[in-house]
């Protein structure tokens, strides 16, 4: 049994998959609340605004609010502020996310930085070539994450990382990565808890983004065998989680709630 000072949950593949909650999600979160163990959801998703994501979770039956969610776009906002950028080319599928970047002038040409999220089917040669031409002229590429793939339903799908790698290769310039496994996302999400990093556990289905990210941040990790988990990846990876459980439903058997 473990006695965590707090828990960070990945969302897609851990709490829900597709349009449904993964069995045991409600019960695990209810037990954490009763035990007064702080938790928060961290996500690399760039297809939804925080408010829309909260609405979706509530519609699935979870009792959450915007303070429970910490997403990669918010880390990007803080980074761009620190860099002193004024003009941003924001490339994301949900235009409502522009509200999150209201501190900047959003432009189509001559930006100080390109902030890129996962465009899914909207990725085209024309879009990538336009971004390449901007980046090659000295503009910084700020990637909201660099995930290799994700599992929106039952099949794996290319994620943003493949396109970020293409732009890095063609421009010969590394992108700045905001989301998991960057340690900043984990540390910013838990800053207000006032507990030691080593007492915080990260629950995720992705060895690279979640488990390696937890290790980067000095936190413990719990791998679930749902979502994008694949047994072959676990066997071939050098990344070793602290604990492995079948799903979030088994969290109550691992965590000491009293």
**Residue pLDDT, tens place only, 175-216:** 999 888 888 889 888 988 999 999 999 999 999 999 999 999
Does residue 258 carry a pLDDT above 70?
A: no
Judge whether 64 and 41 are in contact, CB under 8 Å.
yes
At the topology level, CATH places domain 6-44+180-253 in Rossmann fold (3.40.50)
Q: Would strands 149-150 and 157-158 be described as parallel, antiparallel, or unpaired?
A: antiparallel
* Distance between CA atoms of residues 230 and 86, nearest Å: 42
**For position 50, what pLDDT does the model report?**
80
Nearest one of 97, 175, 177 to 132, comparing CA atoms = 175
Give per-residue pLDDT as tens, 115-132: 999 998 899 999 999 999
- Name the CATH architecture for the domain at 73-177: 3-Layer(aba) Sandwich (3.40)
Whole-model pTM: value is: 0.78
CATH 3.40.50.1000 residue ranges in the chain?
6-44+180-253, 73-177
Give the C-alpha separation, 168 to 135, whole Å. 9
**Which pairs count as long-range contacts for 123-128, CB under 8 Å and 24+ apart, including other chains?**
123/163, 127/91, 128/163, 128/166, 128/167
């Amino acid at each position: 049994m473990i006695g965590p000072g707090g828990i960070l949950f990945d969302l897609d593949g851990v709490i829900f998959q597709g349009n449904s909650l993964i069995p045991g999600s409600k019960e695990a979160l209810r037990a954490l609340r009763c035990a007064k163990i702080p938790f928060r959801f961290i996500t690399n998703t760039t297809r939804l605004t925080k408010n829309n994501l909260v609405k979706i979770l509530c519609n699935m039956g979870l009792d959450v609010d915007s303070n429970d969610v910490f997403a990669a776009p918010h880390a990007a906002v803080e980074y761009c502020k620190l860099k002193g950028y004024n003009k941003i080319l924001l490339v994301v599928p949900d235009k409502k996310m522009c509200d999150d970047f209201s501190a900047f002038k959003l432009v189509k040409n001559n930006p100080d930085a390109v902030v890129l999220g996962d465009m899914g089917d909207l990725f085209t040669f024309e879009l990538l070539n336009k971004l390449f031409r901007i980046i090659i002229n000295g503009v910084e590429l700020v990637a909201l994450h660099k995930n290799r793939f994700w599992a929106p339903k039952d099949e794996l799908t290319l994620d943003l990382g493949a396109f970020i790698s293409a732009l890095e290769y063609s421009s010969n310039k590394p992108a700045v990565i905001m989301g998991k496994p960057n340690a900043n996302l984990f540390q910013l999400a838990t800053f207000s808890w006032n507990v030691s990093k080593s007492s915080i556990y990260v629950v995720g289905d992705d060895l690279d983004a979640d488990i390696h990210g937890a290790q980067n941040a000095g936190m413990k990790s719990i791998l679930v065998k749902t979502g994008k988990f694949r047994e072959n990846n676990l066997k071939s990876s050098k990344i070793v989680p602290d604990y492995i459980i079948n799903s979030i439903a088994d969290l109550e058997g691992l965590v000491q709630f009293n």
